[in-house]
């Protein structure tokens, strides 16, 4: 069963997942990166450009999902280096440090709380995320065009692209597409008809929505909503 809660780290989410049945899971692109715990192992999930299928991965999971753009400062690694990847934390940090942190998480009352404590301590050391990154996310989530977003923030197109690669793992157009997918899924899950969902989230028509969902999620919108 999947359960999540708001983290004490602003904008982040703490979650746990104990699959109740075998089979593939599907993690959809959302612009985020996660610090993961799985059966005593610490890993990082990079930003996805397509659905990540978890077939063959078992056991209990816990994670802290960073707000888009937060994780690279915490990890000290540009997001584009982790795009579409799942890596052991020891590949990014000193193995000795990772062993110590893993022991802390394993000794916590629950792994999710242990992860959160580790992240909060590290976040206090590295300081705040560039506030411009949150403004980029907020503008694109609101449906603003990339060019308009760059102009409003006083950034050139190339500057915005460089910032986006380092912070989100891909350019602003891909980020906008991923965020639009998440907006559409939220409406459709609330029962909004597909055609209205497409119109309200900036797709040219329902067929455009269907193509984008299939491309990013690997399933049709109906299959996603049906839990398949």
DSSP states of 95-158: HHHHHHHHHHHHHSSSHHHHHHHHHHHHHHHH-PPPHHHHHHHHHHHTT--HHHHHHHHT--HH
Predicted confidence (pLDDT) per residue in 4-30, tens digit:
999 999 999 999 998 766 666 889 999
DSSP assignment letter at 30? -
Predicted confidence (pLDDT) per residue in 99-131, tens digit:
999 999 999 999 999 999 999 999 999 988 899
Predicted confidence (pLDDT) per residue in 136-171, tens digit:
999 999 999 999 999 999 999 999 999 999 999 999
Residue extent(s) of CATH 1.10.10.60 domains in the chain: 131-225
For the chain, list the strands marked E by DSSP: 2-6, 13-17, 26-27, 34-38, 41-45, 52-53, 61-65, 86-88
Q: Which of 163, 159, 170, 94 is nearest to 129 (CA)?
A: 163
pTM of the predicted protein model? 0.93
Which residues share a beta bridge with 34? Answer: 45, 65
**Mean pLDDT calculated for residue range 185-203:** 97
Phi, psi for residue 35 in degrees, rounded to 5: -95, 125
Predicted confidence (pLDDT) per residue in 82-104, tens digit:
999 999 999 999 999 999 999 99
% the chain with pLDDT above 90: 89
Check whether 228 has a pLDDT greater than 50: no
Domain 131-225 adopts which CATH fold? Arc Repressor Mutant, subunit A (1.10.10)
Q: Per-residue confidence at 202, pLDDT binned at 50, 70, 90?
A: very high
| Residues making up the chain, counted from first to last | 228
Q: In sequence order, which residues have a C-beta less than 8 Å from that of residue 152 and are 6 or more positions away?
A: 139, 144
């Amino acid at each position: 069963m999947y359960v999540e809660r708001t983290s004490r780290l602003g904008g982040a989410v703490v979650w746990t997942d104990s699959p109740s049945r075998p089979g593939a899971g599907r993690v959809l692109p959302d612009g985020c990166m996660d610090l993961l715990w799985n059966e005593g192992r610490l890993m990082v999930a990079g930003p996805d450009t397509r659905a990540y299928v978890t077939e063959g991965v078992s056991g209990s999971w816990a994670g802290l999902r960073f707000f888009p753009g937060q994780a690279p400062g915490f990890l000290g690694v540009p997001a584009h280096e982790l795009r579409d990847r799942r890596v052991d934390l020891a590949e990014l940090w000193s193995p000795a440090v990772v062993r110590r942190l893993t022991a802390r998480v394993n000794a916590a009352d629950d792994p999710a709380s242990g992860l959160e404590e580790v992240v909060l301590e590290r976040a206090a050391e590295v300081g705040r995320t560039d506030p411009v990154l949150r403004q980029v996310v907020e503008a694109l989530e609101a449906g603003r065009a990339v060019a308009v977003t760059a102009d409003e923030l006083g950034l050139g197109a190339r500057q915005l692209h460089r910032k986006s690669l380092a912070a989100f793992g891909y350019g602003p157009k891909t980020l906008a597409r991923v965020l639009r997918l998440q907006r559409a899924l939220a409406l459709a899950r609330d029962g909004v008809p597909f055609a209205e969902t497409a119109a309200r989230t900036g797709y040219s028509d329902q067929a455009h929505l269907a193509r984008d969902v299939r491309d990013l999620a690997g399933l049709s919108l109906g299959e996603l909503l049906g839990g398949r």
